[in-house]
Amino acid sequence: SKWDVLAAPRDPILAIHQAYQQDPSPLAVNVSVGAYRDAGGNVHEFRAVRDARLSIAASSTYDHAYLPISGLEHLASQSARLIYGDDVFESGRIACLHTVSGSCALRLALSLASRVLGAEEAHVSLPAWPNHVQMVPMEALKLARYRYYDYDRHAVDIDGMLADLGKAKRGDVVLLQACAHNPSGADLKEREWRRVADVVQQRRLVPVFDMAYQGLASGDMEEDVCAVRTFVRKGINVIVAQSFSKNLGLYNSRVGTVSVCVADKVPGRDTATNLLSQLSWLARGMYSSPPAHGALIAAKVMGDDTLRAKWLLEIKEVVGRIGKMRERLRDELERRKVAGHWKHITQTKGMFVLLGLTYSQVERMRVLHHIYLTGNSRINIAGLNENNVAQVAEAIAEVVQN
Ligand code: PLP
Ligand code: TYF
């Protein structure tokens, strides 16, 4: 019978996270799913988020009515300012919609490109976040891959990337991660982004930026958005999917935005408003309207000078701890003289690094050492702390030698 279906493929990252949760060993270490953990190993609540959450909870009234399809306006405008800067925001060339986190923002970005802009193919980095690969055909786009990470050099393959994008067809989507590339942690330098922007402009591609880690690469919000702003300054129309899961630690509240910035204003036409209505129409068919609670918290943090300053300071602390753990891990491996390349652990950015282990070494890490990393040997650096970093290094040493 048609109801007798096979199981769907599992999410390769969340499946490892689940396996960790089922491991009773006190030695088990979770470096799989990309959530920021503090020095004590707990998923972290930002102090500014806590303040905003408590102040909202203390109010004697609470509006449970639906948000509009486009979500919380105050969240959307704060997000657009964070991405494009105040000047571009005030120029009236931006459509920004509050969405159900970065995932729905991405889905809407692809949907707009496919259904409204008529794109037929989407180019995704090699390697990529698995959801990129899954979403593209779901929005009726053909999947193409461009070279991104060179596993031998442990760095971005900029020449391969430019060569592959140079073959894209006019109107194709190119999906770019703005900073802290998942899974490699390897980002382009500003001058490399300018070269990519040249190709995108020449070939009239539709750039979709996935920005799930703004602030968490360099510790600075502006620096981490330089790719998007490079494109905008060049006069390229861009679509941006923004997530607040990581940089506000609001994972299960599902807060994000999708925005479009158009370079030219057509006289007599309000293109930004029309784009917002197209995005709203797509969101209506997908989930109607987004949830409010996390967005109220996020908008309060970003819109209040004191809370915002507190937040930006804490982002720097978070990035500082990640940087320190990158140094600690590299140091522990080099001290043990483990064969392999470990320099890139401190040269890459954000939460992730690809260790360069084989699939069977990763399996041995899991089965023998209770260390849960994804099959491509990606570890979440933020899952490391002083209590487990030596244990992880020791396990890597063992699997490399055996
Ligand atoms: N894009 C990338 C590369 C991610 O790592 C994530 C993180 O989960 C997302 C998008 C979207 O996340 P969310 O839907 O939690 O905002
Ligand atoms: O890559 C990660 O670990 C994060 C979290 O389906 C995540 O982006 C992983 C898988 C997934 C949703 C989020």
> 170-215: per-residue pLDDT in tens?
999 999 999 999 999 999 999 999 999 999 999 999 999 999 999 9
Give the pLDDT of residue 104.
Answer: 98
CB 185 less than 6 A from any atom of ligand 2: no
- d(C-alpha 96, C-alpha 77), whole Å: 7
Give catalytic residues, as residue numbers.
129, 210, 212, 246
Nearest CA to ligand 2 atom 5: 34
Domain ranges of the chain: 12-45+308-401, 73-303
Fold of 73-303: Aspartate Aminotransferase; domain 2 (3.40.640)
Report whether residue 34 contacts ligand 1, using a CB cutoff of 6 Å: yes
* Helix or strand (DSSP H, E) at 207: strand 206-211
What is the CATH architecture assignment of 12-45+308-401?
Answer: Alpha-Beta Complex (3.90)
pLDDT for res 268: 87
**In angstroms, rounded to a whole number, what is the distance separating the alpha carbons of residues 341 and 343?**
6
How far is 371 from 367, CA to CA, in rounded Å?
A: 8
Q: Which of 31, 32, 100, 131 to mutate to test the pocket of ligand 2 (most atoms within 8 A of CB)?
A: 131
The helix/strand/coil state of 73 is helix
Contact 101, 287 (CB under 8 A): no
List the beta strands (DSSP E) in 139-205. Answer: 142-147, 149-150, 155-156, 173-177
Q: Which among 370, 343, 364 is positioned nearest to 354, based on CA atoms?
A: 343
Mean pLDDT by 10 residues, the chain (402 residues): 94 93 96 95 95 96 96 98 97 96 98 98 98 97 98 97 98 98 98 98 98 98 98 98 98 98 90 97 98 98 98 98 98 96 97 97 97 97 97 98 90
Q: How many CA atoms lie within 13 A of 273 on its CB side?
A: 4
How confident is the model at residue 257, as a pLDDT? 98
Convert the pLDDT of each residue in 132-180 to its tens digit. Answer: 999 999 999 999 999 999 999 999 999 999 999 999 999 999 999 999 9
Dump the DSSP string for 244-255: -TTTS--GGG-E
| Burial grade of 21 (CB within 10 A; 0-12, 13-18, 19 or more) | exposed
**Predicted local confidence at residue 266, as pLDDT:** 84
Distance 254 CA to ligand 1 centre (A): 10
Residue 267's pLDDT is 86
pTM of this structure: 0.98
d(CA 182, CA 243): 13
